[in-house]
Each structure stands twice: as C-alpha cells, then as structure tokens.
Amino acid sequence: MNWRSALAFLHDLLATALMWLFAYWVRFNFEVPREFSAGAQGALLWVTPLYVAVYAWLGLYRGIWRYASMGDLRRLLVAVGLGALCVASVAYMTQATGIPRSVLLLHPILLVVVMGGSRFLYRAWKDGHIAFMRHEGTVPVLVLGAGDAAAQLLGELARSRDWHAVGLLDDNAQKHGRRIHDVPILGALADIAQHAERCQARHAIIAMPSASSATRRRAAELAAAAGLTVLTVPAFSDLMQGRVAISHVRKVELEDLLGREQVQLDDEGLHRLLTDKVVLVTGAGGSIGSELCRQIAGLGPRQLVFYELSEYALYAIDQEFAGKPIRCMVGDVKDGAALEATFSQYRPDVVFHAAAYKHVPLMENENAWQAVRNNVLGTLRVARAAIAESVGEFVLISTDKAVNPTNVMGASKRLAERVCEALQCEAAATRFVMVRFGNVLGSSGSVIPKFREQIALGGPVTVTHPDIIRYFMLIPEAAQLVLQAAAQGQGGEIFVLDMGEPVKIADLARDMIRLSGFTEDEIAIEFTGLRPGEKLYEELLADGETTLPTPHPKLRVMKAEQAPDATWLAELEEWLAAPVRSEAEVKEGLKRWVPEYRPAQH
C-alpha cells in the first residue's frame, strides 16, 4: 500500500470511529447518557475493525480520489451497507448492550456522507470546481459547441492551470441558458463578439469534431472576425483512431477550413486489392507517395517496396516504417535496367507511380526536357517493367494541370496519361489506371508552406494574381481516393477526383494571415504577376471530355477515348530517346504529342 492509499485508509478509519460516536450524539441531542456513552466506546473496539475489513475486502483503496466517479460511489455504498449489516448481525448475536437501533441506522448514513463527500470534495478541488480554490492567472476561453466533445473538453479545462472556460456557444437554441459542468451556454455562434467582450475572453476553442467542415469553418471565421485566437480540438477521425485525446487542443490550421468531408472507403475492395500483396510505390518519399505508403501499410500488404531517387527522402520514410515489411530501393524511374532488376526481385502485384517533377515554373524553361523525360519516359519505363513482370495493376498519379495544359509540366503529365492508354492495348495482364486531381495542401513546394514562412518572417505574403484560383484537397484525402480509384479500375480509365469548389489563392492568404493572429494592415499581400507557364484557373476536364459517375460519390471516370496505337508509341519512344533537347524543341514536340497544349503567353 502506497502512502496515498495509507492516508485514505487512515481517513476512513477515523471517519468510521468518529461517525459512530457522532451517531450517538445525534440520537441523544448531544447529551449522551453515561451507560450509552460507555456502550458506544466499548463497541468501537469491534465496530471499526469490522468496517475496515469490509472496506479492504471490497477494494475501496484501489481507486484514486483524484478521479472519484460514480463507480467509486457505488463501491462505497456497498461497503458501508455491508458493514452496517455485519455490525447489526454481531450486535444481535452477542446481545450487545448500549447500542440503540437508531444508531445502527444513523451511522451508515453519516459514513456515506462523510466518506463520499470528502472524496468528491477532493476531486472538485483538483478539477477547479471550487471557486476560491481555482488557480489564479488562468486565461478565460469561450468553447464553441455544446455537445459531448465540449463536455469532455470542459472537464480537461477545469483541471488546467492555464485555461478556464467562461461560456459555451452553440446554434441549438434549445440549449441556450442551460449549463454543462456549471459553465453557461451563452447563445449562438453569431453572437461570439459580444460574449467575448463581456467575458473578456481572447481565445476560442472549437469543440465540434463531428460537425461538418462548413460548420467548423464558419465557427473559425466568426471567432477570427471577433479578434479571438482560434483553437480546435482534434478531428473526429483522429479521436476515433486513438491518435490524440480531446485535451490536445491546437491552433486552427488552413486544412481545417478547407471544407473537405471525411472520405468513406470501400474497405472490402481495398483489402481485396492490397492485403497480403506486394505493393511498389515510386516517388515513395514525396508528399503523395509517402501518404500512399502510410495508407497502404494500414491495409496489411505482404511487402511494401519504396522506390525513390532522393536518398534523404528514402531514409526518412525508412525510419518512419521501421519494423514493418518494407524494402527501400534507391533508383531513377528513367533507369530501365534498375527497374527491371527491382521488379524481377520483388515481383509486385500493384504499382503506384507517384514519382514526377511537378513544379510548374521550375520545369518550364531550362528544365523542360528533364521534366518530359522524367514524367513521360519515366512513366513508360516503369510501365514496361510492370508489364514484363505481369503486375496486376499500375496506377498513375496525374494532375489537373494535364487538362488543356499551358505549361511543360502539365503537358508532360497529359502525355504520360496517353502513354498508359497506349500500353493498355498491349498489356494482357496489367490494368492501367490514371487518377487526376488538383493541388494538395501542405505538399512540398506548395503555396501553404510558403505562406507560413512569409508570415513567420513578417510578410509580405506574395500571390501571383488577385484572381488566380486552384482546386485543393488534403494529402490523406487524395491518397485515400487514389486507392479507391485503384480498387475500382478495370483498365484504361482516367478517374477524376471530386475537388469541391475552387479556392482563390488570395483568400487562402487572407485566411492564413488571420489565423496567425495578424491583420492585413500588419502583414500585407503583394501581387507579383503570373509565373512562366501558370494560368489563372485549372480544369479537371478538357473541352469535349465528359465523365460518368462511379459507385463512389467522390470519384468520376472519364468516358473512354481512342487510345494511341503502337505506331504512335514507337514514334514517341524515338523522340524521348534524345539525351538533350532545347526548350524550343521540347515545346514544339509537345504541341505535336499533346494537341491541346497551348503554352501560356504572359
């Protein structure tokens, strides 16, 4: 027994003895006759040990007072009740004198009040529910939401030495004026500014993990507009998977405001495709490639092969997956011999081809031929290796920039799609599936990390054009939908992900400035002009392309188009064989191979 349990034991021992005597005082109006006083003191010698034995037998000292609960109270009631029965039985059998029947009834009632009350009083003090015992200097916060998550959060805040909740806000009018853990529900979310001023709150915590993204976004925008620092509890999916606790409050990030709903996956189809299979991922160290690896690992593949050119990226993902059935291969997707050796050694069942050069301005001029060779020749050689080893499915990660491309990167990805369509005609055992989507938040080189860095340096935040818009989704969502498309693919299809509504980049910049606790007066937005190859808006379908629905609401599939023939593919391979081409040659060639390619002029 540790010292805390010993103190609890001593407390109950004294309480049992004192309440036995106090029961006599109550019974005789604090004037106990001499004969009954002697009887009370004599009975203490066996009443107290009897009760204590029952307490110990029922495990009353296994619980921790700090977390006293209804279960502890039930155990206490049973212990005191059983002790009272034992005392009454012993008194009856021994014909003990000087013990009134009323004392046998009063004593257990007093014991429950004292022993139970002291436990819950201690917890109330520790939880900060006793006003005069609360920690001074805590920060007042408003909690947005009044559901189960908010109730859990209030319990955590009550124990915090840094925060205390001054009120809750919820759009359910039936809850207004009521209380949760003695914290009032003040009103609707729209009234946050006036309640924040009245309560002197400078922080708001969004406690609505299961609400829609639109609802959480509105709450964050209202709180930010009221000048509050906006925090949030973790997402519902993270809570359910046990990755974090409700108490892990963090700042609201732009990803929370994007408005993307949780993806519902066809688990049976994914397990059929990937469980107990050998899966190879090219570009495994990149943003999309690494997330694909994480998602695939959760589906129980027999082996996961990482194929990556960057030594550091491969090292990082190797460390992350330590102890799992993985193999790490340093290799270039343009190196046909290395690919053949890797595919021959591991014989993958499914290949996800995520390796690509993707930065539009960087790949536009001096590096144009390297972009084409990596994105087109690399795809061709990985696909040829897959066909040679009868890989079941080959999935190409494409982009919305392949639609009516205005830059080399987009044209090269469209050409990679056409290569896969052409190969499908000659591949008997391999299904080729292409997945096309827009920008992913937080990927390497994307606009979000750049904005964060600029804000951290005090600005300005640079945006190329006031009207530029892009489609966005989260990295995990993109990876999940790629897997879902792979499970549905029959061969030769281009899947288009539901990207939602396009977002103005200037609005993203404003959101990030506001979420960082600044105003546009403090951190300015500077428009720098469109970069080489950049266009104002992206499209998911080219002119004349149409899509059909699939069983998954966030996936559509393009209607089948005429695939290039073997002659087309042979001529393309001959063009790609040149080790060096000038920028002008590359762009002229792309106009031939991708008729819809129109280089941007600005």
Catalytic residues: 401
Give the separation between CA 448 and CA 443, rounded to whole angstroms: 8
Specify the DSSP class assigned to residue 374. Answer: I
Whether omega before 599 lies within 30 degrees of 0, making that bond cis, reads no
Inter-residue contact 230 to 220 (CB < 8 Å): yes
Give the separation between CA 384 and CA 390, rounded to whole angstroms: 10
- C-alpha dihedral, 443 to 449 to 450 to 453, nearest 10°: -160
Residues 6+ apart with CB under 8 A from 599: 406, 407, 533, 587
Of 48, 54, 57, nearest in space to 21 by CA: 48
Inter-residue contact 291 to 478 (CB < 8 Å): yes
- C-alpha dihedral, 537 to 543 to 545 to 548, nearest 10°: 60
| Structural element, H or E, at residue 204 | strand 203-206
Give the separation between CA 377 and CA 89, rounded to whole angstroms: 92
Give the separation between CA 411 and CA 489, rounded to whole angstroms: 24
Residues 6+ apart with CB under 8 A from 404: 539, 542, 543, 596, 598
Residue entry with tokens 């520790």? 126
- Kindly report the number of other CB atoms within 10 A of residue 380's CB atom: 24
Residue entry with tokens 């960087």? 362
Give the separation between CA 109 and CA 35, rounded to whole angstroms: 24
Give the separation between CA 498 and CA 281, rounded to whole angstroms: 23
Of 235, 279, 280, nearest in space to 258 by CA: 235
- Kindly report the number of other CB atoms within 10 A of residue 515's CB atom: 21
| Structural element, H or E, at residue 187 | strand 183-187
Angle between helix 336-346 and 378-388 (nearest 10)? 30
Give the separation between CA 534 and CA 545, rounded to whole angstroms: 22
Give the separation between CA 292 and CA 290, rounded to whole angstroms: 5
Give the separation between CA 461 and CA 451, rounded to whole angstroms: 6
Inter-residue contact 187 to 196 (CB < 8 Å): no
Give the separation between CA 209 and CA 222, rounded to whole angstroms: 17
Beta strands per DSSP E along 342-468:
350-353, 393-397, 431-436, 439-441, 461-463
Half-sphere exposure in the Cβ direction for 137 (13 Å, CA): 2
